[in-house]
Amino acid sequence: MEAAAEPGNLAGVRHIILVLSGKGGVGKSTISTELALALRHAGKKGKAVHQCDSGWVPVFVDQEQSISLMSVGFLLEKPDEAVVWRGPKKNALIKQFVSDVAWGQLDYLVVDTPPGTSDEHMAVVDALRPYSPLGALVVTTPQAVSVGDVRRELTFCKKVGLRVIGVVENMSGFVCPHCAECTNIFSRGGGEELARHAGVPFLGSVPLDPELTRSLEEGRDFIQGFPESPAFPALSCIAQKILNEAPVGLC
């Protein structure tokens, strides 16, 4: 029996998307960031987010306050400080992030996760269950070693009753900026094959673009700055598919 959604800090959030992978380093955080940017560009612009007295206030990315963030990174005194916590402590913080952050009115909440199928994943699925998340975006790279781990993540989703919105294949080919020769550095085809095997939608392939990496590191808006990039059409397409599934309507 599902607990009724408490009128807490997530009451004003329309759609919740978890970004998962069994594998590390496939681009979950990159895709989460780019998805947030793409949704912002394609969807409602300049949507104000209320600030609240009670609870933690998320950090706003931009002047218009259309994207806000919460991360343990903001709670560290020094950026190199290691968070050496065992499971229970991590679970407690995740619960706090869900219940104590004053998100206000949001169209989309994108939840970036670490690799694996352990404490953090169970904690966040449990904490978000009353709010009926839209589902999970599962990220992989094309090669078999990645797909091997991500298959297990898809099993996790099934076991915990989390719907899979689809699979994204990241780092799918590298187009050399000098000669436009496309090299499949991390192999190819694995993501599509995985989606087919698991019976879930394949949302698209995002190629490797060092400009994307660079712009992330420098905190620039890739979607705004690089519409010419080979990664741009793929990312926009993925965002559009999510928007089609979960429109926010007129306001």
Q: Which member of 115, 133, 191, 204 binds another protein (CB under 8 A)?
A: 115
Residue type, 162: L
Q: Which member of 185, 237, 243, 248 binds another protein (CB under 8 A)?
A: 185
- Contact stretch for another protein (CB under 8 A) within 4-12, 48-56, 83-91, 103-111: 83-91
The DSSP call for residue 230 is T
- Contact stretch for another protein (CB under 8 A) within 12-20, 98-106, 207-215, 223-231: 207-215
- Residue listed under structure tokens 């069994």: 22
Cα dihedral 52/54/55/59 (nearest 10): 30
> Residue 205 CB, nearest distance to another protein (Å)?
16
For the segment 146-175, give every residue that binds another protein (CB under 8 A): 148-149, 151-156, 159-160, 174
Closest alpha carbon to 168 in 39, 31, 38: 31
> Residue 12 CB, nearest distance to another protein (Å)?
28
Closest alpha carbon to 194 in 142, 135, 231, 157: 142
Q: Strands 202-205, 106-112: parallel, antiparallel or unpaired by DSSP?
A: unpaired
Compute the distance between CA of residue 147 and CA of residue 228 in angstroms, rounded to an integer. 29
- Residue placing its CB nearer to another protein in the complex, 60 or 174: 174
Write each residue from 31 to 70 as x if it is in contact with another protein (CB under 8 A), else as -, in one continuous string: ----------------------------------------
Compute the distance between CA of residue 103 and CA of residue 9 in angstroms, rounded to an integer. 6
Q: Do 203 and 168 contact (CB within 8 A), yes or no?
A: yes
Three-state DSSP state, 111 = strand
Q: Which member of 1, 3, 4, 82 binds another protein (CB under 8 A)?
A: 82
The DSSP call for residue 60 is E
Closest alpha carbon to 10 in 128, 163, 165: 128
Contact between 96 and another protein (CB under 8 A)?
no
Q: Do 130 and 4 contact (CB within 8 A), yes or no?
A: yes
- Residue placing its CB nearer to another protein in the complex, 208 or 242: 208
Per rule CB under 8 A, count of chain residues that contact another protein: 58
> Residue 161 CB, nearest distance to another protein (Å)?
13
> Residue 175 CB, nearest distance to another protein (Å)?
10
- Which residues are at the interface with another protein (CB under 8 A)? 22-26, 29, 79-90, 114-119, 121-122, 141, 143-145, 148-149, 151-156, 159-160, 174, 176-179, 181, 183-187, 208, 210, 213-214, 216-218
